Amino acid sequence: MKILFNIIVYMTLVCLNNYLFACTIFTSASNDVVLAGNNEDMCTTNTIIHLIPPSQDNYGRILWGFKGEGNYQGGMNEYGLFFDGAGTPKVEMAYKWDLPKYNGDYVMQGALEQCKTVEEALEFIKNYKMPYLQHCHILLADATGDAVLIEWGNNKLNFLRKADKNFLIATNFNITETTDPEDECYRYLTVQNMLDNSEPNIELYKNILSLTHVEGKYPTVYSTICDLKNQKVYLYNFHNYSFCKELDLNEELAKGEKQYMIRSFFPVSTSELMFRMMNDCIDDFENVPTSLITFKINLKKPFEEEKLFINGSAKELGDWDEPGIELERINNNTFEKTIPFKEGKMFDFSISALNDKYFLFDSNNELLKEKTVEAKTDTTVIINISDWKLKE
pLDDT tens digits, residue range 76-98?
999 999 999 999 999 988 777 78
Cα–Cα distances in Å, from 101 out to 2, 122, 128, 135? Answer: 12, 15, 5, 17
The CA R_g of the chain, rounded to the nearest whole Å, is: 25
Q: Does position 12 have pLDDT exceeding 50, yes or no?
A: no
Whole-angstrom distance, CA of residue 138 vs CA of residue 85: 4
Answer for the pair 140, 112: CB distance below 8 angstroms, yes or no: no
Q: Which amino acid is at 314?
A: A
Tell me the C-alpha distance between 6 and 10, whole Å: 6
Pick the CATH number of 289-390 from 2.60.120.200, 3.40.50.620, 2.60.40.10, 2.40.50.140: 2.60.40.10
pLDDT at residue 44 above 50? yes
244 within 8 A of 234, measured Cβ to Cβ: yes
Count of other CB atoms within 10 angstroms of residue 361: 17
Q: What is the pLDDT of residues 353-365, one digit of tens each?
A: 877 788 999 999 9
- How big, in percent rounded to 5, are the helix, strand and coil portions of the chain? 25, 35, 40
**Contact at 8 Å (CB) between 210 and 224?**
no
The pLDDT of 189-198, averaged and rounded, is 95
Three-state DSSP at 319 gives coil
Supply the pLDDT for residue 95.
72
| Phi then psi dihedrals of residue 322, to 5 deg | -75, 150
Distance CA 2, CA 286 (A): 12
Closest CA to 377 of 249, 259, 291: 291
Q: How many Cβ atoms sit within 10 Å of the Cβ of residue 372? A: 12
DSSP 82-151: EEEEEE-------S---SPPPSSS-HHHHHHHH-SSHHHHHHHHTTS--GGGGSEEEEEE-TTS-EEEEE
User: Mean pLDDT, to the nearest integer, of 326-343?
Assistant: 95
Q: Where are the domains of the chain?
A: 2-283, 289-390
Task: Inform me whether the pLDDT recorded for 10 exceeds 50.
Answer: no
Q: Average pLDDT, stretch 287-296?
A: 95
Average pLDDT over residues 340-350: 96
- Predicted local confidence at residue 312, as pLDDT: 95
* Residue 193 contacts residue 255 (beta carbons within 8 Å): no
Contact status, residue 125 vs residue 111, Cβ threshold 8 Å: yes
pLDDT at residue 1 is higher than 50: no
Higher per-residue pLDDT: 322 or 272: 272
CA-to-CA distance for 149 and 102, rounded, in angstroms?
20
Phi, psi values for residue 41, rounded to 5°: -110, 125
Kindly tell me the burial class for residue 127, based on how many C-beta atoms sit within 10 Å of its own C-beta (0-12, 13-18, 19 or more). exposed
- Are 21 and 30 in contact by the 8 Å Cβ rule? The answer is no
| pLDDT computed for residue 184 by the predictor | 87
Antiparallel, parallel or unpaired: β 346-353 and 167-170: unpaired
The per-residue pLDDT for 5 is: 43
Residue-wise pLDDT for 147-173, tens only, equals 999 999 998 999 999 988 999 999 999
In sequence order, what are the residues at sequence separation of 6 or more whose Cβ sits closer than 8 angstroms to the Cβ of residue 216? 20
d(CA 271, CA 45): 12
Quickly state the pLDDT bin for 182 (edges 50, 70, 90). confident
Range 42-53 average pLDDT: 97
What is the pTM (predicted TM-score) of this model? 0.90
User: Residue 21 has what pLDDT?
Assistant: 52
Report the chain's terminal Cα–Cα distance, integer Å: 60
Distance CA 182, CA 2 (A): 33
Containing 271, the helix (H) or strand (E) segment is: helix 270-278
> Where residue 303 falls among pLDDT bands split at 50, 70, 90?
confident
Whether the predicted pLDDT of 262 surpasses 80: yes
Angle, nearest 10°, between helix axes 186-196 and 202-212? 160
The residue with greater pLDDT, 356 or 330, is 330
Q: Which of 53, 56, 31, 59 is nearest to 116 (CA)?
A: 59
Residues 276, 259 contacting (CB under 8 angstroms):
no
Separation of alpha carbons 292 and 270, rounded Å = 26
pLDDT of residue 6 exceeding 80, the answer is no
- Asked if pLDDT for residue 2 goes beyond 70, the answer is no
Whether residue 4 is predicted with pLDDT greater than 70 in this model: the reply is: no
Asked whether the beta carbons of 208 and 225 are under 8 A apart, the reply is no
pLDDT reading at 62 higher than 80: yes
Q: Pick the range with the lowest mean pLDDT from 32-36, 68-72, 142-146, 148-152.
A: 68-72
Between CA 45 and CA 42 the distance in angstroms is 8
**What is the pLDDT of the chain when averaged over all its residues?**
91
Q: How confident is the model at residue 105 (pLDDT cuts 50, 70, 90)?
A: low
CATH class of 2-283: alpha beta
